[in-house]
Amino acid sequence: MEIVAYGVLADEEPLLTEAFRRAFDAEHELRCLSLFLNKDTSPTAADHEVVLSSVNDVLDADVLRALAAGGTRMIAQRATGHNNIDLAAAQELGLTVARVSSYSPYSVAEFAWTLALAVNRRIVRTAHRTREFDFRLDGLMGRDLHGRTAGVVGTGKIGAVFARIAHGFGMRLLGWDIAENPDCLALGMEYVGCERLFAEADLVSLHVPLLPDTHHLVDAKALALMKDDTILVNSSRGGLVDTDALLETLRAGRLSGVGLDVYEEEAGVFFLDKSLEVMTDERLARLMTFSNVLVSSHQAYFTRDAVGQIAETTMANIADHFAGRSSDNTLVRSAAA
């Protein structure tokens, strides 16, 4: 049987194919495609029982109907997030949907810190200057993080690693979550309401999933509560931040730095080469004009360790489908599975 994977990145493909070989040897074949799965590309999935999707694929009801009509029975999402999949439609169509519920939390937490440090110490501006042999320090002053307050929004596995690193810097820890993490409490974290966290933190880092209750968690009201020199980092989901409100805040000269690895309208932009095109997303283009804003292309998870774990878990999800099993990774299970 041939299994098809969509949105496969060049550096990801060797890890994905090796994990597939170990799991299935010559029993099945894997076809890796760089194109994303959406309404226009869904016909290419015809006659494939199993489809491996990426977080930037668009799996709405129309696409799922096309997949089901073409013989697809299982969608294995190579990511933790699944807000790009219409799970209700998948249930109605009898499709099994699984995800990767967890992978290396260090990959994302360490990258969130990379963004925080880069905007604090003006690393991108420095690199651009020194490449032109401009070695002035004007406009490059950062600040010590030691002794300042880190606000960790979401203290699950990734947030806890972020907090541990902050503790290593000697920072005071504030946390917000629906449940307190004992590991974070052991670091001295104080759990507070969102409003207090936003008001007191010198560094705010977001590590919660995108749900109806967390959509635009950082809105105009939240941004107004933050100090003028707060650093804001989002390495979780773009929809957590109201981009229009963030732009207004930046235009007012507020926030010391912003590091964004995700963006609420990133689908159709991130993971693609847009360098020869006119950027039609005006909000993203405006974000890029601020010297204290650093935007990366959803790469926080992109380490050999994490991508390897994602590949291994994806293969286990496929094996579960063939065996008629479900697991904690199963989001929707077909009645026929």
Is 141 found in the same domain as 245?
Answer: yes
SS3 209: coil
Which tokens hold the place of 231? Answer: 């650093």
Q: What is the C-alpha to C-alpha distance for residues 190 and 167, in angstroms, rounded to an integer?
A: 12
Q: State the pLDDT at residue 337.
A: 52
Is 128 found in the same domain as 15?
Answer: no
Q: Identify whether 146 is a catalytic site residue.
A: no
Q: Identify whether 22 is a catalytic site residue.
A: no
Tell how far CA 26 is from the center of its chain. 33
Is 112 found in the same domain as 98?
Answer: no
Q: State the pLDDT at residue 209.
A: 92
Tell me which residue range forms the domain holding 158: 105-295
Q: Is residue 28 part of a domain?
A: yes
Domain count, the chain: 2
Which tokens hold the place of 243? Answer: 């981009």
Is 147 found in the same domain as 80?
Answer: no
Tell how far CA 127 is from the center of its chain. 26
Which tokens hold the place of 232? Answer: 């804001």
Is 110 found in the same domain as 96?
Answer: no
Cα separation values, 272 from 8, 276, 277, 334, Å: 12, 11, 11, 33
105-120 vs 157-168: helix axis angle to the nearest 10? 50
- 278 Cβ contact list (under 8 Å, min separation 6): none
Is 243 found in the same domain as 115?
Answer: yes
Active-site residue, selected from the candidate residues 73, 122, 207, 237: 237
Q: What is the C-alpha to C-alpha distance for residues 180 and 161, in angstroms, rounded to an integer?
A: 14
Q: What is the C-alpha to C-alpha distance for residues 13 and 212, in angstroms, rounded to an integer?
A: 33
**Cβ(242)–Cβ(258) below 8 Å:** no
Cα separation values, 269 from 62, 260, 263, 265, Å: 21, 14, 10, 8
pLDDT, tens only, 297-337:
999 999 999 999 999 999 999 999 999 999 999 999 876 65
Q: Is residue 337 part of a domain?
A: no
Q: Identify whether 237 is a catalytic site residue.
A: yes
Is 193 found in the same domain as 141?
Answer: yes
Is 145 found in the same domain as 277?
Answer: yes
Q: What is the C-alpha to C-alpha distance for residues 126 and 63, in angstroms, rounded to an integer?
A: 45
Is 223 found in the same domain as 246?
Answer: yes
The closest alpha carbon to 28, from 60, 4, 54, belongs to: 4
- Identify the CATH number of the domain in which residue 237 sits: 3.40.50.720
Active-site residue, selected from the candidate residues 266, 312, 321, 333: 266
Is 250 found in the same domain as 154?
Answer: yes
Q: Is residue 216 part of a domain?
A: yes
Q: Is residue 191 part of a domain?
A: yes
Is 269 found in the same domain as 164?
Answer: yes
Active-site residue, selected from the candidate residues 78, 82, 298, 321: 298
Q: Is residue 246 part of a domain?
A: yes
pTM of the model: 0.91
Q: State the pLDDT at residue 81.
A: 85
∠ CA(296), CA(227), CA(183), 5° rounding? 70
**Cβ(151)–Cβ(203) below 8 Å:** yes
What stretches in the chain show pLDDT beneath 70? Answer: 335-337
∠ CA(12), CA(305), CA(10), 5° rounding? 10
Is 110 found in the same domain as 99?
Answer: no
